């Protein structure tokens, strides 16, 4: 049985220069994010985020979007190998979907959980092996930041200011210190960063 500190929880999110994960149009407004999603740096970043991870922790909306899209990429022999690698990882990984509305999982290897994100992450950390990845689900990442449960942050910073929209780092978070362990800059000015929590 592994101890509670062996599993790490990591989160991946793309942010604008002003720290927003969507624009003024709401959750679907990704105009400042999408143009940078298929660059070399973004694809390298996508290949990096699953290293060591065995569990995907997702919010319902992301689960529906991801699992409607990525399985077809996993089967596509013409897809970029990095995209395909992530897609195959997602299909094969244990998936835990946080939801108050779904009662049963429409996807393979998926558990539906109706509980606070921090409680679910803490439970996952205490059992099983491999790391836990929260990819793009801001609704899950934010409470984990608030509970200081994240061990690694993967961030893609795009060279745009959205002005309005969802912000990852809300006021009132507990102070924390992070060490930069990787950075890669792309031709469009996008930067992929990896920060590890210093405890």
Q: What burial class does residue 134 get, using C-beta atoms within 10 Å of its C-beta: 0-12 exposed, 13-18 middle, 19+ buried? A: buried
In a domain, 4, yes or no: no
CATH code of residue 136: 3.40.430.10
Task: Please report the pLDDT score of residue 4 as a whole number.
Answer: 47
Please give the Cα distance from 11 to 40 (Å, whole number): 20
179 lies in some domain: yes
Q: Which domain holds residue 138?
A: 9-198
| Domain-embedded: residue 167 | yes
Q: Which of 53, 38, 8, 34 is nearest to 151 (CA)?
A: 8
Q: Is residue 1 one of the residues assigned to a domain?
A: no
* Spatial distance between the Cα atoms of 192 and 149, rounded to a whole number of angstroms: 22
* The pLDDT of residue 6: 83
Tell me: pLDDT of 2 over 80.
Answer: no
Residue that has been written with the tokens 């689900």 in this structure: 137
The mean per-residue pLDDT over the stretch 122-133 comes to 95
Task: Give pTM, 2 decimals.
Answer: 0.94
How many structural domains are present in the chain? Answer: 1
Contact partners, residue 8, CB within 8 Å, separation at least 6 = 52, 131, 132, 151, 152
2 belongs to a structural domain: no
**pLDDT tens per residue, range 73-112:** 999 999 999 999 999 999 999 999 999 999 999 899 999 9
């Amino acid at each position: 049985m592994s101890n509670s500190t062996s599993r790490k929880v990591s989160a991946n999110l793309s942010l604008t220069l002003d720290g927003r994960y969507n624009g003024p149009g709401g959750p679907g407004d990704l105009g400042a994010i999408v143009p940078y999603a298929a660059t070399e740096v973004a694809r390298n970043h996508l290949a990096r985020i699953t290293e060591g991870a065995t569990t995907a922790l997702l919010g319902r909306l992301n689960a529906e979007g991801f699992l409607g899209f990525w399985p077809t990429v996993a089967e596509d022999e013409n897809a970029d190998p990095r995209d395909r690698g992530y897609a195959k990882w997602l299909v094969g990984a244990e998936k835990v979907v946080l939801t108050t509305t779904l009662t049963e999982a429409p996807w393979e290897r998926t558990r539906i959980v109706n509980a606070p994100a921090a409680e679910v992450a803490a439970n996952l950390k205490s059992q099983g092996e491999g790391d836990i990845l929260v990819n793009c689900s801001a609704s899950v990442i934010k409470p984990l930041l608030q509970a200081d449960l994240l061990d690694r942050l993967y961030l893609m910073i795009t060279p745009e200011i959205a002005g309005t929209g969802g912000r990852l780092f809300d006021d009132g978070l507990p102070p924390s210190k992070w060490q930069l362990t990787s950075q890669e800059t792309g031709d469009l000015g996008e930067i992929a960063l990896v920060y590890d929590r210093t405890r």
